[in-house]
Structure 1
Amino acid sequence: MTSSSLAGAGLLIIWSSISPTEVDEPAFNDWWTNEHLPERLALPSFLRCRRFVDPATSPTATPESKYLVWYEVDDTKALVSPQYMEKLDNPTPRTARFMPLLATLQRCACRVHTSQVRPEFTLSGARGGMVGASMANVSFTPPPDKDACLDGLAVRLMELFAHAAVLAFHVVEQDEETTRAGSQTKSYTGVSQSFQRSGLKCMVLVEFSESIVSPSGQREALKSMVVDWAAAAGSTDVEGNIYGLICAVGR
């Protein structure tokens, strides 16, 4: 069941947070968006990058601002390619400056299990360039029968398309070996990080047409619905967050 709006069969997802009182946040965003994303897109198998922010973590509400970035790649082999590993072991001056300033960082290389767009876009043939204005990220540790869990969850997630705000959903699973290989490079020297996020093994990513400032309450309710479905399928460590899109850049 795959009619994907993703550019490839692999994803690299990175969560990070910074303290606005200790880090120049505008400079941090300038580096990640205008230097780091173009650098990654110059690699042959990196196809599209997206940056998101958790709007509930503004400097006035919390001591940390939280960000999520995902990179769409041909497949997870791109995340251990010689070209990518060379970049990780030779960070730019600004990368070497900002990475150790992150308050937290979690990194996950993922295989795409299922990716589905709204039926209307499947029929139109316009699905390839679709990018949601906001998204829900639900992470969980699956039960021992992981494949049955993910297959059943993918079928259940089709119910989301009854809601007009849902553009697409993606079910992904962590490639632990690939995650670890990249996380042990020089780019991450001195960075406080975890190979897994609350026991993270798998995720559901739901893309919405509504921006993060839209008054609709659908996103939160739908995120909670996915959390309940993952838990009902026997998953543990289930948690969900809503993020707003900062930018999307592709080839």
Structure 2
Amino acid sequence: MAFLGQAAVAMWWNMAAEHREEFEHWHSHEHFPERMGIPGFLRGSRWSSADGGEGFFVLYELENYETLTSSGYLERLNNPTPWSTKMMPHHQGMVRSQCRLLHSTGGGIGRHALTLRLSPAEGRDAELLAHLSALATSFVSQPGGVAFHVLRTETPQAASTREQQIRGGKDKAADWIVAAAAYDASALDALQRGALGEDIERHGALPGALAGRYQLAYAASAHDLK
């Protein structure tokens, strides 16, 4: 997925099986069109857990960092629809990261995705970013590889929103995020075992990086939903 814009909202959560059908209906037919109608929202994509479990990864690509505190976005966050108000409490274990884009290589949207939530060791930010940038170039040129993005969470100074309050006000956030996409899952298998496995610690990452594997469920741009 060639990254659109210079910022993002990256989110992970679980959705219990008994709520999944309604969640996907709401998220596709009300929530996505609502979000894509906000100035600065360029594309949204929803990815479901590759193992068939309850996990989801959702990525909103934004024109710029200022979109995160724009009046249009804050208005929607503080005035959820009745359907959103019903569905928000079912987002379990929410991790919501408001990010700047650090690096992006590749283009298109692949069926398979790998996300890695990680943190740089103290004083090794530049080393880690240089390694990930070089890895991105290598990955997208290999069979199966499509795109490779690096994001860093920079949470804006803003009051808690109504949507956060409905979810219990306990949203967590990642630090750095790698999102890699592929048309062949085996390309991500190799990436996860090798360069984004324990080897990543040699290049400036702290231990404990958290990986997740997903399949594309739905994607739409602002243009698609006009």
Q: TM-score, normalised by structure 2?
A: 0.89
1:89 deviates by 0.3
The equivalent of 1:246 in structure 2 is 217
Give the one of 154, 178, 181 matched to 2:158.
181
Distance 1:221 1:66 in 2: 22
Can you give the 5+ residue segments of structure 2 that lack an aligned partner in the other structure?
Answer: none
TM-aligned CA deviation for residue 25 of structure 1: 1.4
> What is the aligned counterpart of 2:175 among 187, 194, 201?
201
Deviation, 1:203, is 1.2
Could you tell me which residue of structure 2 aligns to residue 222 of structure 1? Answer: 191
Give the partner amino acid of 1:170: H
CA offsets 1:84-142 (integer angstroms, 9 cap, x no match): 0010000000110010122221100111111011xxxxxxxxx4xx1111111011011
Provide closer, same or farther for how the CA distance between residues 228 and 238 of structure 1 changes in structure 2, counting only shifts above 3 A: same
- Distance in 2 (CA, whole Å) between partners of 1:47 and 1:217 is 29
SS at match of 1:187: helix
Query: In structure 1, what is the Cα distance between the partners aligned to 2:142 and 2:205?
Result: 24
Q: Is the 8 A contact 1:138 1:204 kept in 2?
A: yes
Alignment of 1:22-61 (within 5 A): 23-58=18-53
- Partner SS state of residue 100, structure 2: strand
Shift of 1:57: 3.9
Instruction: Give the RMSD, CA atoms, in angstroms.
Output: 1.8
Aligned residue pair count: 218
Aligned counterpart for 1:142 among listed residues 120, 130, 135: 120
| 2:204 is equivalent to residue 234 of structure 1 | yes
Aligned runs of 1:122-141 on 2, under 5 Å? Answer: 127=107, 130-141=108-119
Contact 1:100 1:189 in 2 (8 A): no
Q: Identical aligned pairs, as a percentage?
A: 22
Q: 1:16 to 1:10 in 2, by over 3 A?
A: same
Give the aligned partner of residue 138 of structure 2. Answer: 159
Alpha-carbon deviation of 1:153?
A: 2.2
Structure 1: gaps spanning 5 or more residues: 59-64, 118-126, 211-215
Whether 1:77 aligns to 2:77 is no
SS in 1 for 2:45: strand
TM-superposed CA distance for 1:34, in Å, is: 1.1
- Counterpart CA distance in 2 for 1:227 and 1:36 is 34
Letter in 2 for 1:70: L
Query: 1 CA distance for matches of 2:202 and 2:151?
Result: 18
